[in-house]
Chains A and B, each alone.
Chain A
C-alpha cells in the first residue's frame, strides 16, 4: 500500500508531464479548429473572416482531396502488405539456426536507422535512376527495358522506398515474438508427426496474430503521415500522383498559405488517425496491468 506521503508526491511528480502534454494536445488543436472556420490566407491577412464550415466543404469536395485520400490508402495498404508478407517469412528464417545470425540481424535492422531524407535520395538517385541507377543496370543485364521510376510509376517508387524503411520494423517485432514461442509445443507437434506447414498454420500463425496486429496499427499511425520521402523525391508530383493527405495539407499551408483550408484538412487527418488510434489503444490497453 502506498502511503499518504507517496500519493501526494506521486501526483506532484506526474503533474508537469500531464500539464505539458495537455497543453501540447489542446492548444494547437483548438487553434486548428478555430482557423478551420476562417477564411484566412497569409498572403492577404486583412481578408480574415468567419466562414463557418465553408473550408470543410471546399476541402472535402476538392478533387485533390479524393486523389490524395486514394493515394494515402494505396500507400498505407501496399506498404503494410509488403512489410508483413515479406517480414513474416524473413522473421521465420532468422528464427532458424543460422550461422552468424547476429550479423544478419544487424544488416536487416539497419535501414530502420537511416534518416528518411537519406533513404529517399539514395534510392531515387543511386538505385532508381533510369540511366545510371543500379536497378537500371540489373534490368538491362536481364534484357529488360529500365523504367523511369519517378515518371512512369512514381507512387510505386515511393511505396518501395518506404517499405524498405519499415520492413526491418515488422521483421524485428515478429522475430521477437517468435523467440517467445513455446518450443516444447512445437516439439510435441513434430513428434506427433505434424508437417512443418501445419505446425506453421496451427501453432505459429495464431501466436503471431497479436504481434502482427500491433505492427499493422503502429505502422498505420506512422504511414498515414509519410512526408519527408515525398518532399525530397517527387514534391507530390507529377501532378498529384504522389500527393497524400499529409503532403496536400502541407502544400496548402506552406506553399499556398491558405491557413483556413489547410486547418480543415488537418482536422480531417486527425479524424482519420483517431479511427486507427482507437483500435491501437484498445489492443495495448488490454495487456496493461497497473
Chain B
C-alpha cells in the first residue's frame, strides 16, 4: 500500500527532481539548440537561449561537406551486424546453459564474464598488427568482428538471465506431448523468449553504436562510424560549433530514443543480473 504523503512534500520533491533532471539534461538540450543557430549566434556572448535566428542550414552543410550518411550507414552496419552475429552465437549458448545446465555451467558463465573485463588496451597491439597484416584496418568487417567479440559475453549473460525465467515445466509438458526439440524451440520457447531477445538486441545495438575504443583505433575513413566522424571535429580548423552540434544531434538522436525504450533492461544487462 502506498503511504499517505502530504501534498507539500510532493511539490517539494517534484520541484527538486525536475530541477536536477533539467540540470543533467542541459548539455544535450544546449547542443540541440546550438545546432539550429548560425555560427555567429553559436559563439554569441551572452548566450542566446531561444531568441535567435533559427536555421536548419547546419544539417544540410554537415551532409554536403562531410558525407554524414556514409558514416551513419557505417554505424548502422557495424552496430547492427555485430549485434546480429553475436545473437546468432549467443542464443544457442544461453539456451543450453539455461535449460541443460551441467556442473560446470556456473564456472563457464563467470569465465565468459571475466573475458569482458580484459582491458581492450591490453590487446591493442596484437589486434592492430593482425588487422594490418590481414588488411582489416578501416574495414566494416573488421569492426563488426571485434565489436561482436567484445559484446558477446554481455549478450550471452543477458539472454541467460531471461531464459532462466522461462518456467521449465512448460518444456517438460511439451516433451511429454511428444514435441521434438526443434518444435519445442519454435512453438513453446520462442514466444516466451521474444521480449528478452528484443531487449538484448536493443541494448547491445546501443553499446556497439557508442563504442569508441576500437572504432577510433581501427578505422579512419572508409569504415569510420559516427564516433570517429564526430572525433574529426576535434581538430581546431574543423571547429564550427553549430555544425558540430548538428552532426552530434544526428548521431545521438536515434540512439537516445532507442535507449529510452530499453532503460529498464539496461540495469539487468549492465550489472550481469546482479541488480534487477
Instruction: Report A's interface with B, CB cutoff 8 A.
Output: 2, 5-7, 9-11, 13-14, 16-18, 20-21, 24-25, 27-29, 31-32, 35, 90, 93-94, 96-101, 103-119, 121-127, 131-132, 134, 136-137, 164, 167-169, 172-173, 176-177, 180, 183, 186-187, 190, 210-211, 214, 218, 221, 224-225, 227-228, 231-233, 245-246, 249-250, 253-254, 259, 262-263, 266-267, 269-270, 272-274, 276-277, 280-281, 283-285, 287-288, 290
Tell me whether B46 is interfacial, beta carbon within 8 Å: yes
* Complex CA distance for A114 and B28, rounded to whole angstroms: 9
Interface centre among A107, A116, A172 (most CB of B within 10 A): A107
Q: Are B105 and A249 in contact (CB under 8 A)?
A: no
Nearest CB in chain A: distance from B49 CB, A: 10
* Complex CA distance for A273 and B152, rounded to whole angstroms: 19
* Residue in A211, A221, A266 whose beta carbon sits within 8 Å of that of B121 in the complex: A266
Interface centre among A131, A173, A284, A290 (most CB of B within 10 A): A290
Nearest CB in chain A: distance from B255 CB, A: 5
A-B contact number at CB 8 A: 322
Chain B interface, number of residues (Cβ within 8 angstroms): 101
Contacts A/B (CB < 8 Å), 13 sampled = A35-B126, A113-B252, A113-B259, A115-B226, A164-B27, A180-B276, A187-B3, A211-B275, A262-B124, A266-B124, A273-B118, A284-B110, A288-B110
**Which residues from B are CB-within-8-Å of A104?**
17-18, 21
**Which residues from A are CB-within-8-Å of B206?**
113
* Complex CA distance for A29 and B34, rounded to whole angstroms: 45
Q: Are A20 and B152 in contact (CB under 8 A)?
A: yes
**Which residues from A are CB-within-8-Å of B95?**
13
Instruction: Mark out the residues of chain B between 228 and 269 whose CB falls within 8 Å of any chain A CB in the assembled complex.
Output: 228, 230-231, 233-234, 239, 241, 244-245, 248, 251-252, 255-256, 258-260, 263, 266-267
**Which residues from A are CB-within-8-Å of B213?**
225, 227-228
Q: Are B227 and A168 in contact (CB under 8 A)?
A: no
**Which residues from A are CB-within-8-Å of B227?**
115-117, 228
* Residue in B34, B115, B252 whose beta carbon sits within 8 Å of that of A118 in the complex: B252
Q: Are A277 and B114 in contact (CB under 8 A)?
A: yes
Q: Given A111-B28, A116-B212, check contact A90 B271 (CB 8 Å).
A: no
**Which residues from A are CB-within-8-Å of B126?**
27-28, 31-32, 35, 263
Q: Are A14 and B92 in contact (CB under 8 A)?
A: yes
* Complex CA distance for A20 and B123, rounded to whole angstroms: 16
Q: Are B30 and A134 in contact (CB under 8 A)?
A: yes
**Which residues from A are CB-within-8-Å of B18?**
98, 100, 104
Tell me whether B273 is interfacial, beta carbon within 8 Å: yes
Instruction: Mark out the residues of chain B between 75 and 119 whose CB falls within 8 Å of any chain A CB in the assembled complex.
Output: 89-90, 92-93, 95-97, 99-102, 105-106, 108-110, 112-119
Nearest CB in chain A: distance from B196 CB, A: 17
Q: Considering only CB atoms, which chain B residue lies closest to A105 in the complex?
A: B263
Q: Given A24-B115, A94-B17, A228-B231, check contact A122 B31 (CB 8 Å).
A: yes
Nearest CB in chain A: distance from B65 CB, A: 17
**Which residues from B are CB-within-8-Å of A107?**
21-22, 24-25
* Complex CA distance for A263 and B127, rounded to whole angstroms: 11
Instruction: For the complex of A and B, list the 7 residue pairs with the smallest distance between their C-beta atoms, beginning with the closest.
Output: A10-B100, A13-B92, A31-B126, A228-B212, A17-B93, A28-B123, A113-B259
* Complex CA distance for A103 and B24, rounded to whole angstroms: 13
Nearest CB in chain B: distance from A289 CB, A: 8
**Which residues from B are CB-within-8-Å of A96?**
9-10, 13, 17
Tell me whether B210 is interfacial, beta carbon within 8 Å: yes
Instruction: Mark out the residues of chain B between 126 and 144 whose CB falls within 8 Å of any chain A CB in the assembled complex.
Output: 126-130
Nearest CB in chain B: distance from A65 CB, A: 14
Q: Are A115 and B212 in contact (CB under 8 A)?
A: yes
* Complex CA distance for A10 and B94, rounded to whole angstroms: 9
Tell me whether B173 is interfacial, beta carbon within 8 Å: no
Instruction: Report B's interface with A, CB cutoff 8 A.
Output: 1, 3, 5, 9-10, 13-14, 16-18, 20-22, 24-25, 27-28, 30-31, 34, 43-47, 89-90, 92-93, 95-97, 99-102, 105-106, 108-110, 112-130, 149, 152-153, 156, 181, 206, 209-210, 212-213, 216-217, 226-228, 230-231, 233-234, 239, 241, 244-245, 248, 251-252, 255-256, 258-260, 263, 266-267, 270-276
**Which residues from A are CB-within-8-Å of B231?**
117, 121, 228, 231-232
Q: Given A93-B17, A115-B252, A121-B248, check contact A14 B93 (CB 8 Å).
A: yes
* Residue in A25, A27, A94 whose beta carbon sits within 8 Å of that of B115 in the complex: A25
Q: Are B10 and A14 in contact (CB under 8 A)?
A: no
Q: Given A111-B27, A122-B31, check contact A21 B149 (CB 8 Å).
A: yes
Nearest CB in chain A: distance from B269 CB, A: 11
Nearest CB in chain B: distance from A88 CB, A: 13
Q: Are A269 and B122 in contact (CB under 8 A)?
A: yes
* Residue in B97, B115, B245 whose beta carbon sits within 8 Å of that of A126 in the complex: B245
* Complex CA distance for A79 and B23, rounded to whole angstroms: 18
**Which residues from A are CB-within-8-Å of B217?**
250, 254
Nearest CB in chain B: distance from A231 CB, A: 6
* Complex CA distance for A134 and B18, rounded to whole angstroms: 20
